[in-house]
């Protein structure tokens, strides 16, 4: 029996020196600084995490090839690389540039446009309103076509991942894109006219929305996990007939506040003591599976499957961290088996794993000193148990 789904792991191109990070956080800063500085929040808390092969620089020759070869040996078909674009400015773009410039690097990849502004949210709550680089959406055709042209270069690469012959492109926060229909239609037309390629564009769903009308512009959607399993209803796409729990209700309302009021709320919150939030691994995964099953029944477009390894963003947020406790490679393998079994019943051809290397969020398939190959072996075994 052969594998029916492409397994794609999200890939964060953070781990190299970047002029923007040098300016904002100090010369030579990468997220390794946060990872190395992390401390346990209580007895038994697994921090800091140290990569099994040591801290690396993604601009070093051979690192990308080495990582993908190791991932592929354990069933990962490619990386969904986060792509940043701010009117031509491209923070963290060196790894992708390296791939596109060197056809000998045997890395299969797709792009996920991380279309959010960069802020100082790691520092404190009011840092969320301190914008380091703002995401704007150029209204002039010429400016937009600069973005389209860069994307087309990637889409045309022989290593770029497709769905049924159509290059796969994801948008991380689609509801934030100004003139979304115009932006997407323009991208499709630009790519079609210049290359003959038809795109498969996927929307990432990160929260419960009052309306999902914007999804009509997309070919599929991907559930952002474990975020949705932690904070959203089981049935994301069903009409809401009751008021959600108060904590979720106020959280949703807070996200809709105008920025001046958000700043006031953040300043007040920063006066209160910080306290970590703890969740249980089995509970979160069970919620994820329920959400996936409901989405298959009620989502307006095709659903791409998504799972996660684990989660602990202590390196970024310290005492404001969210920590999912109770992880083991065996549990990860068990829940991935269930997700893969569910995926086999559907027509979707991709399954995303969050993530390959989100070390600042404790969410990585890459090995650490505690489990050098445990997560990858668990994934490989899960695939073998289902697909043979």
- What domains are defined for the chain? 6-387 (3.20.20.80)
Structure tokens at 68: 């993908």
Angle 222-225-226 from CA coordinates, rounded to 5°: 170
DSSP string, 147-209: HHHHHHHHHTSTTB-EETTEEEEEESSGGGSTTHHHHHHHHHHHHHHHH-PPPEEEEEE-S--
Please give the pLDDT value at position 125.
Answer: 47
Q: From first to last of its 388 residues, what are the pLDDT tens digits of the chain? A: 356 779 999 999 999 999 999 998 899 999 999 999 999 999 999 999 999 999 999 998 799 999 999 999 999 999 999 999 998 899 999 999 999 999 999 999 999 999 988 886 555 444 455 688 888 876 667 888 999 999 999 999 999 999 999 999 999 999 999 899 999 999 999 999 999 999 999 999 999 888 999 999 999 999 999 999 999 989 999 886 555 555 555 555 555 555 556 556 555 555 567 899 999 999 999 999 999 999 999 999 999 999 999 999 999 999 999 999 999 999 999 999 999 999 988 876 899 999 999 999 999 999 999 999 999 999 999 999 997 6
Rg, the chain, Cα only: 20
Distance CA 43, CA 195 (A): 57
**Count of Cβ atoms closer than 10 Å to residue 247 Cβ:** 9
Q: Specify the pTM.
A: 0.91
């Amino acid at each position: 029996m052969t594998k029916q789904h492409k397994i794609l792991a999200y890939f964060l191109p953070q781990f190299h020196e970047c002029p923007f990070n040098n300016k904002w956080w100090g010369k030579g800063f990468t997220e390794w600084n946060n990872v190395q500085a992390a401390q346990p929040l209580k007895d038994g808390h697994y921090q800091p995490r140290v990569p099994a092969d040591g801290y690396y620089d993604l601009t070093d020759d051979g690192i990308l090839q080495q990582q993908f070869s190791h991932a592929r040996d354990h069933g990962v078909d490619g990386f969904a690389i986060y792509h940043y674009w701010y009117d031509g400015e491209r923070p963290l773009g060196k790894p992708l540039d390296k791939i596109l410039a060197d056809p000998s690097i045997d890395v299969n990849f797709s792009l996920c446009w991380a279309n959010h502004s960069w802020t100082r949210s790691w520092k404190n709550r009011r840092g969320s309103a301190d914008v380091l680089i703002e995401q704007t959406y150029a209204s002039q055709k010429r400016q937009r076509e600069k973005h389209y042209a860069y994307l087309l270069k990637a889409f045309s690469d022989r290593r770029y991942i497709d769905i049924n012959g159509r290059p796969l492109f994801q948008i991380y926060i689609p509801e934030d894109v100004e003139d979304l229909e115009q932006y997407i239609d323009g991208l499709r037309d630009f790519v079609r006219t210049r290359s003959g390629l038809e795109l498969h564009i996927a929307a990432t769903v990160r929260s419960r929305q009052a309306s999902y009308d914007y999804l009509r512009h997309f070919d599929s959607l991907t559930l952002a996990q474990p975020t949705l399993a932690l904070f959203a209803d089981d049935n994301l796409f069903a009409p809401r007939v009751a008021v959600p729990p108060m904590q979720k209700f106020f959280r949703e309302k807070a996200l809709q506040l105008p920025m001046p009021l958000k700043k006031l709320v953040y300043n007040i919150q920063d006066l209160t003591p910080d306290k970590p939030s703890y969740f249980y691994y089995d509970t979160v995964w069970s919620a994820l599976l329920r959400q996936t099953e409901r989405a298959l029944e009620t989502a307006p477009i095709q659903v791409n499957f998504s799972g996660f390894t684990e989660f602990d963003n202590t390196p970024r947020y310290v005492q404001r961290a969210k920590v999912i406790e109770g992880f083991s490679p065996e549990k990860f393998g068990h829940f991935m088996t269930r997700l893969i079994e569910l995926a086999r019943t559907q027509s979707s051809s991709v399954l995303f794993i969050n993530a390959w290397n989100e070390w600042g969020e404790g969410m990585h398939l890459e090995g650490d000193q505690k489990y050098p190959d445990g997560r990858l072996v668990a994934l490989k075994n899960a695939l073998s148990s289902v697909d043979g």
